[in-house]
Structure 1
């Protein structure tokens, strides 16, 4: 058996995979965000560990015999977070997360102090990345910065609890702005620009290689054998790609989770920071990927559910039964899905969420539609940015919690004018990929392990609906520049 641990923003999810590649069981434990100041987003790492322990207890209780035979563990996790440790590995402050926007001024400072940043890291300096966060701490919390002995990414802090080792891998490290992405190694030049050295960084292994073994006392507590391998693992999106078998150049997917990601595999390093496209290492050696990121995706629907006091299933059922998607677009307002600012294509932490065009006869279903459409349009912006960077796709897999809605999947297909496929295990993307990386680290072959899950549904774009949506997309794109800075 192989165990995948996926440290997300809203929950820690575990997945148990057997030697035939079948999912035996899953479990999860919820997490909450702390936003003590505007633009801030934090979590305490201790909560991640408690959630992991809770999820392990659930999975052991549901599948005791299978869990006891786990021989390797893979890790997946939210990227870019800054876990700051002192010499004794004590946590110095809550982790600053990927969707934190406080370090916008530090992005400009880093770009000025590291002229080769874009060439080396392959990405624009954005507040979500790790390096600007450390510059913010250096400026605003100098007493904490002076005590920093180690900087770890979220999943790698979990690894420290699991193995006692400080290790990272290229797919996650590429999101720090400290990695030479082409060479898959730390950049002394970029570290120096932040007042750090290699001594502050964990050692690097490839995602599919062993990074250590489970601590004996933890193995005993979990009822596992000795020498349980812990793989390098991957950032959440690279892990999701492994979970759906996206390993060859041109393979791609959309992750419709808290954030919205459009991910396409490349066979070489192909940066294009001018379009706010991310160029990162993939979770396999000699593979890279391009990625567009919108900071709020399925979280927009959760926000709207809270706003109107209704369950997601209720709103989607109301929308589907009330009117067709063709009719919905006639009266619906436009929604800018920038509830936490935006990365691709605007790179604007201050971009606001907007419902534009409300009328006296606007219904709740109209607004639900607008939210789903706005997220689809944000993904369309991301696809255009990837196309400007030289990437073309005709089929994309859809993973994440948002993939449960066939209505949303069809709307995305129509808006992007690409075929969308949903896999039978699409909701388990990151955790499944993590388990597969554990399997690879234990000796599995990529061809046998990284197969594509069965396709549960296909959504082909409808030319007439695409043409109608293209008119609304043009209005959507015109709205942001008119409101920027207002």
Structure 2
């Protein structure tokens, strides 16, 4: 029995096929080979074309089939992970009415702030656990005001993964986890937020039917199955945002467990059984994949918009001819602290942990007689690690005190410079695993289909590749971090 996992990322679609019996990943592929662009028609905007996601997903599935490492007809269930907080709007014929407004788009900040003030900060935090901020509900409010002709034709709204499942099955569904990440969910009343819908003037009929995360979300249509070489009628049994799914892929499900990722964006995701609230909504709790009315399981999410994107940009400017492994080697040849060069890695939209300010990405204290492109490479990776520490301290102030964090051995965690800087500056032991979001989505599909009785059974064979512990440079990094923090705070209004 085989399981298919699809991870809808910002830059590409990744697909994995996993053998349910052995838990072995038979194949993992990505499409396209080069990073898919983000459409930015105005500063602070970020959009992508939903049907491009679908075309890329189909190509990724066919690319996986082309390896001939498995029989596609043995795939029995599909799971989907996706970039969080986006907005897709479709008409009654299930056609997308406009480009998707994605997670790093900043245009909706004023709408979320207006709702926060009008509903009341205390009411929002007690019921939504967040400010409406720059999340999906606020993005829909922007469409309602600026594109009334589009808004008037909307039949249903959805997040990116919901749209991908819609293309597979012809059926739109959502979940409490998805609704919470859009800030549509009232945790105190266990239902759609009357306050949000009333303030923005939204019709509750815009929300698709609500299902559990691990549950049938429709079955693959015959014509789609024929195009993709799949068995008609196999179910989509799991859908989750990329960060809850990343936590699932690392078997981070219990209170006190923590996952991290450093892909296009960077995230620390800590599971708690308490209704965690940050008064300034700088770190954000959402319903985890195993949350229910009877069992509170929230994922407290710290997001840094530009981590891998910062690393990519620095590489393109400072070392365009080098591969990422070569970039990491050059960075490793530079001393801790990059001989005084600092990087603020905040150039990808409004940062929630900075109270939705846009400070921009900056290199600070450049010495033209000392600093080289290699210094930029190291300072960029260290700057990302410092941003993680800054956000982690916000979580610690709220009562979360992790000692170990689990991460996939991928993206920036492939860099020894970054992984060690992360451990040294945060004081956390990092456990690295050979897994990724598409593998997690595949195993999530197995849980939703009942192939595995529990998540523990699904991930029973997952073991860390190695640990990275705080080392001899921790004290030196602390001094550099304090300088970095001073530079950042000087930029904040």
Q: Secondary structure at the match of 2:313?
A: helix
Q: Secondary structure at the match of 2:252?
A: coil
Please, which of 376, 381, 391 is the counterpart of residue 382 of structure 1? 391
Contact between 2:31 and 2:57, CA under 8 Å: does it hold in 1? yes
Contact between 2:87 and 2:100, CA under 8 Å: does it hold in 1? yes
Q: Secondary structure at the match of 1:73?
A: strand
Q: Which residue of 2 aligns with 1:49?
A: 54
TM-score normalized by structure 2? 0.93
TM-score normalized by structure 1? 0.94
Q: Which residue of 2 aligns with 1:466?
A: 474
How many residue pairs match? The answer is: 476
**Superposed, which structure 2 residues align to 1:2-81 within 5 Å?**
2-19=3-20, 20-30=22-32, 31-63=36-68, 65-81=70-86
Q: By how many angstroms is 1:54 displaced?
A: 0.4
Please, which of 129, 149, 153 is the counterpart of residue 143 of structure 1? 149
Query: 1:98 and 1:359 mapped to 2: Cα distance?
Result: 35
Q: Is 1:357–2:365 an aligned residue pair?
A: yes
Please, which of 94, 98, 118 is the counterpart of residue 93 of structure 1? 98
Q: Secondary structure at the match of 2:181?
A: coil
Please, which of 411, 433, 450 is the counterpart of residue 440 of structure 2? 433
Query: 1:219 and 1:445 mapped to 2: Cα distance?
Result: 27
- In 2 relative to 1, CA 14–275 (structure 1 residues): closer, same or farther, beyond 3 Å? same
Q: By how many angstroms is 1:449 displaced?
A: 0.7
Q: Which residue of 2 aligns with 1:480?
A: 488
Query: 1:134 and 1:226 mapped to 2: Cα distance?
Result: 34
Query: 2:128 and 2:163 mapped to 1: Cα distance?
Result: 23
Q: By how many angstroms is 1:273 displaced?
A: 4.0
Task: List per-residue Cα deviations over 1:31-57 (Å, max 9, x = no partner).
Answer: 221111100100000100110110011
**Superposed, which structure 2 residues align to 1:414-425 within 5 Å?**
414-425=424-435
- In 2 relative to 1, CA 451–146 (structure 1 residues): closer, same or farther, beyond 3 Å? same
Q: By how many angstroms is 1:377 displaced?
A: 0.6
Query: 2:244 and 2:109 mapped to 1: Cα distance?
Result: 26
Q: Secondary structure at the match of 1:224?
A: coil
Q: By how many angstroms is 1:382 displaced?
A: 1.5
Structure 1 gaps of 5+ residues are none
Structure 2 gaps of 5+ residues are none
Q: By how many angstroms is 1:270 displaced?
A: 2.0
Q: Which residue of 1 aligns with 2:330?
A: 318
Q: By how many angstroms is 1:395 displaced?
A: 0.7
Query: 2:367 and 2:89 mapped to 1: Cα distance?
Result: 49
Q: By how many angstroms is 1:63 displaced?
A: 3.2
Q: Secondary structure at the match of 2:66?
A: helix
Contact between 1:340 and 1:351, CA under 8 Å: does it hold in 2? no
Q: Which residue of 2 aligns with 1:117?
A: 124
- In 2 relative to 1, CA 280–222 (structure 1 residues): closer, same or farther, beyond 3 Å? same
